[in-house]
Structure 1
């Protein structure tokens, strides 16, 4: 059986942040230059997609196995690919992809975040 990333939209992620549940670990896979344009207002772990290797990601994820992980990028494509890669390489057994990425967060939750 294939394992696929779970999808979450900006509204549901915002509800999660505002709930009693433990906040997820938010991983942003955009490049550094993109973070300079638009940045999440929540705490996040930056793993540029261009730097991803199995060893690098396994080391970063080592302390996160008990936490829910949500991955974001600009529009949800690179983050989905990162999620699927993490599942395919058995780095995680469950992971969430933020649909529409930071662009969706800006459009639906926080319009003060610049769109690009």
Structure 2
């Protein structure tokens, strides 16, 4: 599984790289904080949402700490043939600690 650290993702976003962000957390987590322009597809909806996931650019999948997103990526790679997925190391928690220190932690 490909991984990306928060600082590298921040660099991609600052350079306006073509990248899709997918947040697989639950509604209450999404309401607390999220990455700008992320698509919200809760983990339980991933099997039916493969059509919403781009194939022509890197796709960064994230959750709170990176465990649920890793499971989603494994599912999509095994069942959807995706090869452009990246797991955000440490999830949104790591992003908040390394990149956006104003983002609420939970």
When normalised by structure 1's length, the TM-score is: 0.84
SS of aligned partner of 2:65: coil
Aligned residue number for residue 62 of structure 2: 72
Instruction: Give the TM-score, by structure 2 length.
Output: 0.91
Q: For residue 57 of structure 1, report the CA deviation from its aligned partner.
A: 2.2
How far apart, in 1, do the equivalents of 2:7 and 2:27 lie? 25
**2:53 maps to 1:58:** no
1:48 aligns with 2:42: yes
Who wins on radius of gyration, i.e. which is larger?
1
What displacement does 1:50 show? 2.2
- CA distance in 2 between partners of 1:69 and 1:52 (Å): 14
1:15 aligns to what SS in structure 2?
helix
Q: How many residues align?
A: 106
Does residue 9 of structure 1 match 2:12?
A: no
Question: Structure 1: 5+ residue runs without aligned partners?
Answer: none
